Copies of this chain bind each other. A is one copy, B any other.
Amino acid sequence: MAQTPSNEGTDAPSVGELTPPDRTLMGPGPSEVNPRVLRAMSTPLVGHLDPSFIEIMDEVQELLRYTFRTDNQWTIPVSGTGSAAMEAAIGNVVEPGDTMLVPTNGYFGGRMASMAQRAGGEVVEVDAPWGEPLDPDDVADALAEHDPDVFGFVFAETSTGVLQPDVPALTAAAHDHDALVIADSVTALGGVEFRVDDWDIDVAYAGPQKCLSCPPGASPLTLSDEAMEKVLSREEEPRSWYLDLSLLEGYWGEERAYHHTAPITNVYALREALRLVAEEGIEDRWARHERLAGALKAGAEAMGLGMNAPDEYWLPSLNAVRVPEGIDDGKVCDALLERYDLEIAGGLGDLAGEVFRIGCMGHSARPENVIYVVTALGDVLESMGADVDPGAGVTATRRALEK
């Protein structure tokens, strides 16, 4: 065996015990993880073809259907983070030569476009400014003009804190033009009212580390029978083997044949995170997010800060708060991390430097976290000379929580 002389043993890196800081996570994700989910992750593994794991897979699928509000048979966790589920959706549904209509009103519409092009699709756009939702009339016009095969939209835009209202109007317009609808629900699933079946959405994907408060690594995806029929009747194979849903059907479907080794521990974690959703009840969970994020928003506004999104498009799980005049958002985030062990984020893309992005998701959507972020943000902004009233902020948050 020893084809080469060596002197190993002397060059082994010396890396100490894993001791990350204890952060309060109120950024755009990951959110904090419930201790029950962390404990599930320390469960010893079974094999990915073990009969007991097949049962666990079935349970996860059932819990995902409940959370997505769907009866779709094709509801699975994709073996990767949210962007893998996103690419599984787009890369399987969009065939070479297809046209996909994507939005321009946020960071993730751009990512949709890039994935659709890589899948061999043509991309056309429906415009709206960053920070505003799509106008259903504009969507209808774009559908009439371009006659796309697929229409993608971002239900909860993490870069702008905007919720897309009246989804049924968008899906009805798309279906009038025989376009399949892909909805990005990354920052919504399990935290904001989202209904795959009632809203007639064909394909939806999400991230586990947002409102589900599950460590990233296995990401929710659901497809209607009609969407799956398109996937299974493609003329050309999808361009990714790893994310090829026709192959994954062999593993998650009846056959239970080997495709790739599932991320067993991440599936354990997702199961536990989804059990917490079912125990709380999906509607109560939506209501909790709205109440807790409402208290956060009340505090920010009472302190003198502006919300980026008008109230009718406000996304409870991701609060985009305007950066006060003359304040450097990066320095504020750094100070919060250093002085308070607290994570929030600055803006992305068109909103870089203009907003703070404050998450209120899953296990992080608790009174202690909301009070803490309002208090710490007020303190740091005041110390940097911003025109804010931290006391008024905390009072408003406290009162909102008492309701």
A interface residues with partner B (beta carbon < 8 Å): 1-4, 6, 8-9, 11-15, 18, 20-23, 25, 27, 29-30, 32-33, 38-53, 56, 59, 62-63, 66, 69, 79-84, 86-87, 91, 111, 114-115, 117-119, 166-168, 192-193, 195, 198-199, 207, 209, 215-218, 237-243, 258-266, 268-269, 271-272, 274-275, 278-279, 281-284, 286, 290, 337, 343, 345, 348
Contact = CB atoms under 8 A, between A and B. Distances in A.
A86 B25 CA distance: 33
Contact of A13 (B21, B43, B63): B63
A18 B240 contact: no
B43 A209 contact: no
Nearest to A271: B18
A260 B81 contact: yes
A284 B9 contact: yes
A33 B45 contact: yes
B266 A217 contact: yes
A87 B271 contact: no
Copies per assembly: 2
B30 A264 contact: yes
Contact of A21 (B46, B239, B240): B46
Contact of A32 (B45, B66, B195): B45
A261 to B, nearest CB: 5
Contact of A22 (B25, B44, B279): B44
- The interface centre, meaning the residue of A47, A117, A199 with most chain B CB atoms within 10 A of its CB, is A47
A343 B22 CA distance: 38
B283 A6 contact: yes
B20 A52 contact: yes
A247 to B, nearest CB: 9
A357 B45 CA distance: 19
Given A3-B193, A209-B261, 15 more contacts: A3-B166, A15-B275, A18-B43, A21-B50, A23-B50, A45-B215, A49-B345, A79-B216, A80-B263, A83-B261, A111-B241, A114-B241, A115-B241, A118-B238, A217-B263
